[in-house]
Amino acid sequence: MSQKISKVVFPVAGMGTRFLPATKAVPKEMLPVFSKPLIQWSVEEATAAGITEFIFVTSPEKPSIISHFQSSPAYEAMLKERNKTDELELLKAGLPDNAKITEVSQDKPLGLGHAIWCAKEVVGNEPFAVILPDDMVLHTTGCLKQMVETYEKTGGNLVAVENVPADQTFRYGILDPETDDGQIVKIRGMVEKPAPEDAPSDLAIIGRYILDPMIMVTLDKGKKGAGGEIQITDAMADLIGTCPLHGLRFKGTRYDCGNKAGFLAANIAYAALDPELVDGLQEQIRTIFK
């Protein structure tokens, strides 16, 4: 039987240079997507999947991410005094009541594998989830909850996957499928960011992982891969013989908030869920593009 997933790692130490100057003083993860900071959507997705321990791998330059999830006594006192119960609820920022928050520092930008490895001591000897907040997935059942349910069947390492246009493989970890039932894909190999002519398929890893703690032992080696960085893709590939790897074709629409068009599309898609906004929003968008 697979172990329960109660910890999530958020690798959020990156500098967000694509969004400068907006990200000079405000971390990219704190930019709002519709009504909430990008990172809060990820935290809510993790909460909905039953996660109780939230591990932020961050940089000392970005203190506001942790501040957003810590208690805010002055704010709480003021809202209590004014009897503002709804607003008090909003101060929880999507965390469950029993949440434990841990901050780990990544001092050098050595890659996603390195960022995850920085959480080694906190993760300990249990399987854990990783969410890359840039990838937002919109669906009534959150992507991580779908993965946790699938993990109960597969165990091992599990990644969220999506078919991408063949000329976009250089942006993703690309999988070499062994079997594929349309939903769960058994994977026999993987390449990080291959040129289209070198890609084993068009099936890409999206920013959700459930990882076996053995991954930390592989990451200990500090092996550098694509772009001279320590890649989580390589560590999962190295483990395939010992620890099976599966991909889940999740349900939902993914928005890549790591680029401006995806970020704006996510804002519109999430705003369109608000019944009070949808008509006016549609009207304004039509006017802009007419």
256: left (phi > 0), else alpha (psi -120 to 50), else beta?
beta
Measured from the CB atom, is 53 or 135 closer to ligand G1P?
135
CB atoms within 10 A of CB 73: 8
Instruction: Give the whole-angstrom CA distance, residue 162 versus residue 172.
Output: 10
Position closest to ligand G1P via CB: 173
Phi, psi dihedrals of residue 171, rounded to the nearest 5° = -95, -10
Asked if 158 and 247 count as a contact pair (C-beta separation under 8 A), the reply is yes
The CA-based angle 225-150-101, given to 5 degrees, is: 70
Measured from the CB atom, is 109 or 124 closer to ligand G1P?
109
Minimum CB–partner distance for residue 205 and ligand G1P (Å): 4
Measured from the CB atom, is 18 or 251 closer to ligand G1P?
18
Minimum CB–partner distance for residue 52 and ligand G1P (Å): 25
**Binding interface with ligand G1P (CB under 6 A):** 112, 132, 135, 172-173, 192, 204-207, 231, 233, 258
How large is the C-alpha radius of gyration of the chain?
Answer: 19
Amino acid in position 28:
K
Asked if 179 and 186 count as a contact pair (C-beta separation under 8 A), the reply is yes
Minimum CB–partner distance for residue 162 and ligand G1P (Å): 9
Beta partners for residue 77, in sequence order: none
Minimum CB–partner distance for residue 248 and ligand G1P (Å): 14
Measured from the CB atom, is 37 or 247 closer to ligand G1P?
247
Measured from the CB atom, is 87 or 229 closer to ligand G1P?
229
Minimum CB–partner distance for residue 251 and ligand G1P (Å): 18
